[in-house]
A and B are shown apart, each in its own frame.
Chain A
Amino acid sequence: MAQPLAFILDVPETPGDQGQDPSPYDESEVHDSFQQLIQEQSQCAAQEGLELQQREREVTGSSQQTLWRPEGTQSTATLRILASMPSRTIAASIGRSRGAIISQYYNRTVQLRRRSSRPLLGNFVRSARPSLRLYDLELDPMAQEEEEKQSLLVKELQSLAVAQRDHMLRGMPLSLAEKRSLREKSRTPRGKWRGQPGSGGVCSCCGRLRYACVLALHSLGLALLSALQALTPWRYALKRIGGQFGSSVLSYFLFLKTLLAFNALLLLLLVAFIMGPQVAFPPALPGPAPVCTGLELLTGAGCFTHTVMYYGHYSNATLNQPCGSPLDGSQCTPRVGGLPYNMPLAYLSTVGVSFFITCITLVYSMAHAFGESYRVGSTSGIHAITVFCSWDYKVTQKRASRLQQDNIRTRLKELLAEWQLRHSPRSVCGRLRQAAVLGLVWLLCLGTALGCAMAVHVFSEFMIQSPEAAGQEAALLVLPLVVGLLNLGAPYLCRVLAALEPHDSPVLEVYVAICRNLILKLAILGTLCYHWLGRRVGVLQGQCWEDFVGQELYRFLVMDFVLMLLDTLFGELVWRIISEKKLKRRRKPEFDIARNVLELIYGQTLTWLGVLFSPLLPAVQIIKLLLVFYVKKTSLLANCQAPCRPWLASHMSTVFLTLLCFPAFLGAAVFLCYAVWQVKPSSTCGPFRTLDTMYEAGRVWVRHLEAAGPRVSWLPWVHRYLVENTFFVFLVSALLLAVIYLNIQVVRGQRKVICLLKEQISNEGEDKIFLINKLHSIYERKEREERSRVGTTEEAAAPPALLTDEQDA
Chain B
Amino acid sequence: MGNKQTVFTHEQLEAYQDCTFFTRKEIMRVFYRYQDLAPQLVPLDYTTCPDVKVPYELIGSMPELKDNPFRQRIAQVFSEDGDGHMTLDNFLDMFSVMSEMAPRDLKAYYAFKIYDFNNDDYICAWDLEQTVTKLTRGELSAEEVSLVCEKVLDEADGDHDGRLSLEDFQNMILRAPDFLSTFHIRI
Contact = CB atoms under 8 A, between A and B. Distances in A.
B106 A377 contact: no
A229 B81 CA distance: 34
Contact of A183 (B18, B80, B150, B160): B18
A296 to B, nearest CB: 42
A758 interface: yes
A225 interface: yes
B148 A402 contact: no
A120 B93 contact: no
Contacts of B135: 387, 390-391, 405, 408-409
B156 A650 contact: no
Interface string A159-195: 0000000100111110111011001100000000000
Contacts of B66: 396, 398
Closest 8 pairs (CB-CB, A-B): A765-B159, A226-B23, A401-B67, A373-B177, A176-B89, A409-B136, A65-B162, A176-B93
Contacts of A649: 178, 181-182
B80 A383 contact: no
Which DSSP category, helix, strand, loop or mixed, fits chain A's interface? helix
Contact of A131 (B14, B120, B184): B120
Given A173-B106, A383-B151, A387-B128, A397 B67 contact: yes
Interface string B129-168: 0111001110110001001101111011111111100000
A115 B172 contact: no
A169 B178 CA distance: 25
Contacts of B106: 171-173
A524 interface: no
A219 B181 contact: no
A415 B120 CA distance: 29
A56 B15 CA distance: 55
Contacts of A179: 19
A395 B65 CA distance: 9
A419 B151 contact: yes
Given A114-B81, A175-B80, A226-B25, 14 more contacts: A122-B84, A170-B21, A171-B106, A173-B106, A176-B89, A180-B16, A229-B26, A377-B175, A390-B135, A390-B178, A409-B140, A650-B181, A765-B159, A765-B161
Interface residues of A, number: 100
Given A175-B93, A225-B23, A393-B185, A121 B83 contact: yes
A769 interface: yes
Contacts of A247: 178, 181-182, 184
A35 interface: no
B172 A239 contact: no
Contact of A120 (B92, B119, B177): B119
A114 B176 CA distance: 34
A806 B14 CA distance: 81
Given A67-B161, A131-B119, A409 B137 contact: yes
Interface in B103-143: 103, 105-106, 109-111, 115, 117-121, 125-126, 128, 130-132, 135-137, 139-140
Interface in B5-41: 14-21, 23-26
Contacts of A745: none
Nearest to A107: B109
Contacts of A689: none
B151 to A, nearest CB: 4
Interface of B: 1, 14-21, 23-26, 56, 63-64, 66-70, 72, 76, 78, 80-84, 87, 89-90, 92-93, 96, 98, 102-103, 105-106, 109-111, 115, 117-121, 125-126, 128, 130-132, 135-137, 139-140, 144, 147-148, 150-153, 155-163, 169, 172-186
A247 B18 CA distance: 28
A741 interface: no
Contacts of A166: 18
B177 A405 contact: no
Contacts of B137: 402, 405-406, 409
Contact of A762 (B105, B132, B158, B180): B158
6 contacts: A64-B160, A171-B105, A175-B93, A384-B155, A385-B176, A761-B159
A387 B156 CA distance: 11
Contacts of A222: 17, 23-24
A173 B182 contact: no
Contacts of A594: none
A199 interface: no
A226 B24 contact: yes
A375 interface: yes
B144 A413 contact: yes
Contacts of A479: none
A378 B175 CA distance: 5
Contacts of A387: 128, 131-132, 135, 148, 152
A765 B136 contact: no
B139 to A, nearest CB: 5
Contacts of B98: 393
Interface in A368-425: 372-375, 377-378, 380-385, 387-398, 400-402, 405-406, 408-409, 412-413, 415-416, 419
Contacts of A650: 177-178, 180-181
A170 B175 contact: no
B19 A180 contact: yes
A739 interface: no
Given A67-B160, A387-B148, A413-B144, A395 B67 contact: yes
A424 to B, nearest CB: 16
Contact of A121 (B15, B82, B102, B183): B82
A120 B76 contact: yes
A185 to B, nearest CB: 12
A335 B15 CA distance: 55
B76 A412 contact: no
Given A67-B162, A114-B82, A412 B19 contact: no
A272 B16 CA distance: 41
A132 interface: yes
A171 B162 contact: no
B7 to A, nearest CB: 16
A388 B159 contact: no
A169 B93 CA distance: 12
A78 B133 CA distance: 34
Counting chain A CB atoms within 10 Å of each CB, the highest count among B148, B150, B160 belongs to: B160
A12 B115 CA distance: 31
A123 B118 contact: yes
Contacts of A618: none
B172 A394 contact: no
Given A132-B120, A393-B185, A769-B161, A183 B175 contact: no
B156 A381 contact: yes
B148 A394 contact: no
Interface in A50-69: 64-68
Contacts of B111: 388
B19 A230 contact: no
Contact of B144 (A385, A412, A768): A412
A383 B118 contact: no
A313 to B, nearest CB: 44
Interface in A645-691: 648-651
B162 A389 contact: no
B15 to A, nearest CB: 5
Nearest to A419: B151
Contact of A412 (B125, B136, B150, B182): B136
